[in-house]
């Protein structure tokens, strides 16, 4: 792996990027960072920055939030997106999204916490998947 550890480039540490890992041995792709492949155990996974494009898999609008800070933001959408690279990611989502929509990630900040925020894609999909 070259460059800084992936956690330094991800939204989880305040950098506007969505990162994932793939296994050079078995081809598995996943989202939660770890130093091995959870499918085959290989010890040299590759860390990558995702394109940010995907398809909306699941969606909820949170009205009852966990605490005052979040309640001030409610209602907000929490979404699961199937990224084009083959991993699934949770994020916030724009109002009006529907399951199956093509979406693209952006980043917002709530109380010093950066969050992935998905909106409807303006670009046509490269490849149709369901």
Locate 41 and state its tokens.
């155990």
φ/ψ of 69, rounded to 5, equals -60, -45
Name which position in 37, 50, 83, 89 contacts another protein (CB under 8 A): 89
CA-nearest of 61, 51, 49, 50 to 99 is 61
Q: How far is the CB of 40 from another protein (least distance, A)?
A: 16
Exposed/middle/buried for residue 34 (C-beta within 10 Å: 0-12, 13-18, 19+): exposed
Among 1, 26, 44, 73, binds another protein (CB under 8 A): 73
Residue number, 112 or 122, with CB nearest to another protein? 112
Residue 31 as a binder of another protein (CB under 8 A): the answer is: yes
Distance in angstroms (rounded) separating the CA atoms of residues 66 and 47: 32
Contact call for residue 62 and another protein (CB under 8 A): yes
**39 contacts another protein (rule: CB under 8 A):** no
Binding site for another protein (CB under 8 A): 12, 31-32, 57-68, 70, 73, 76, 78-80, 88-92, 99-100, 110, 113, 115
């Amino acid at each position: 792996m070259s460059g800084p550890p992936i956690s330094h480039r991800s939204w989880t540490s305040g950098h506007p990027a969505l990162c994932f890992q793939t296994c050079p041995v078995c081809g598995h792709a996943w989202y939660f960072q770890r130093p091995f492949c959870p499918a085959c155990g290989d010890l040299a996974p590759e860390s990558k920055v995702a394109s940010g494009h995907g398809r909306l898999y699941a969606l909820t609008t949170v009205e009852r939030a966990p605490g005052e800070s979040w309640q001030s933001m409610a209602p907000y959408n929490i979404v699961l997106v199937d990224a084009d690279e083959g991993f699934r990611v949770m994020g916030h989502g724009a109002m009006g999204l529907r399951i199956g929509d093509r979406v693209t990630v952006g980043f917002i900040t709530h109380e010093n916490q950066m969050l992935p925020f998905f909106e409807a894609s303006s670009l046509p999909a490269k490849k149709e998947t369901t």
